[in-house]
Amino acid sequence: MKQSMRLAMAFLISSGVIAAGLFAAETNPPSTQKAVKQMSKDQQIALALSGAPPHISKDAAVMAPGEDGKMVELKRGTNGFTCIPSVENLPEPDPMCMDAAVKQWVDDLVSGAPKPSNTVPGIAYMAKGGNHWEKDGKVLMKQEAGAKLVKEPPHWMLMWPFDSKDEKLPTLPNSAGVYIMFDGTPYAHLMVYQDPMKMK
């Protein structure tokens, strides 16, 4: 499986489909954030579906936090994908659409499981981009004192236990647009800075 992943990434980089020159830009979060929970149901659904190309999102389920903070279904899906209106909401909503394997991966992460339990690689799309925290040359899994918020361009992800030592891939955003996020942890995964809306 790792060999096939390596070959796939080699193809992406060599064929030039990864946009060159994309670096994550540091930014400071504003004092106020746009609260997704203040949006109407229809607005939350539209926002969530904007995370992936229409041919995927149109048949995807939509889930969002309810009044008690637990996820509730706003729209039923038929293609195995689930979209949410925001991941971090820092400083703007960052919708994501994910397949069943990534949903399992995310559920494990949120519940504090020691490692993800998906048994196959999963794919997720964030067509509006997102953010992550960096400190001392590392991407952090959560905010820490002295960490900087870094803006990410539109991208997609492969949730599988990638390891920089085995894959020989970088662990920070770079001009090739591909890197391993959370390297050295059970939740390491592949980030690909390629706009999902421009993929064919």
Residue with tokens 């990864």: 18
Give the number of domains in the chain.
1
Quick one: pLDDT at residue 33? 43
Quick one: pLDDT at residue 70? 84
Quick one: pLDDT at residue 24? 39
Quick check: 94 and 131 in contact, CB under 8 A?
yes
Q: Which DSSP string corresponds to 187-199?
A: T-EEEE---GGG-
Cα of 145 vs its chain's centroid, Å? 23
Tokens of 54: 């229409």
Quick one: pLDDT at residue 67? 80
Quick one: pLDDT at residue 30? 43
Output the pTM of the full model: 0.84
From residue 147, alpha-carbon distances to 28, 141, 176 in Å are 10, 11, 24
Question: CA–CA separation, 57 vs 50, rounded Å?
Answer: 7
Question: CA–CA separation, 2 vs 124, rounded Å?
Answer: 19
Structural domain that includes position 82: 2-198
Q: Which burial class, exposed, middle or buried, applies to 126 when counting CB atoms under 10 A from its CB (0-12, 13-18, 19+)? A: buried
Q: How many C-beta atoms surround the C-beta of residue 45 within 10 A? A: 18
DSSP reduced 3-state for 165: helix
Residue with tokens 């400083």: 91
Quick one: pLDDT at residue 11? 35
pLDDT in tens, the chain (200 residues): 444 444 344 334 333 333 333 333 444 444 334 578 889 999 999 999 999 999 999 999 999 988 887 889 999 999 999 999 998 877 789 999 999 999 999 999 989 999 999 999 999 999 999 999 999 999 999 899 999 999 999 999 999 999 999 999 999 999 999 999 999 999 999 999 999 999 87
Quick check: 23 and 175 in contact, CB under 8 A?
yes
Question: CA–CA separation, 82 vs 100, rounded Å?
Answer: 8
Q: How many C-beta atoms surround the C-beta of residue 184 within 10 A? A: 12
- Kind plus residue range of the DSSP H or E element containing 108: helix 100-111
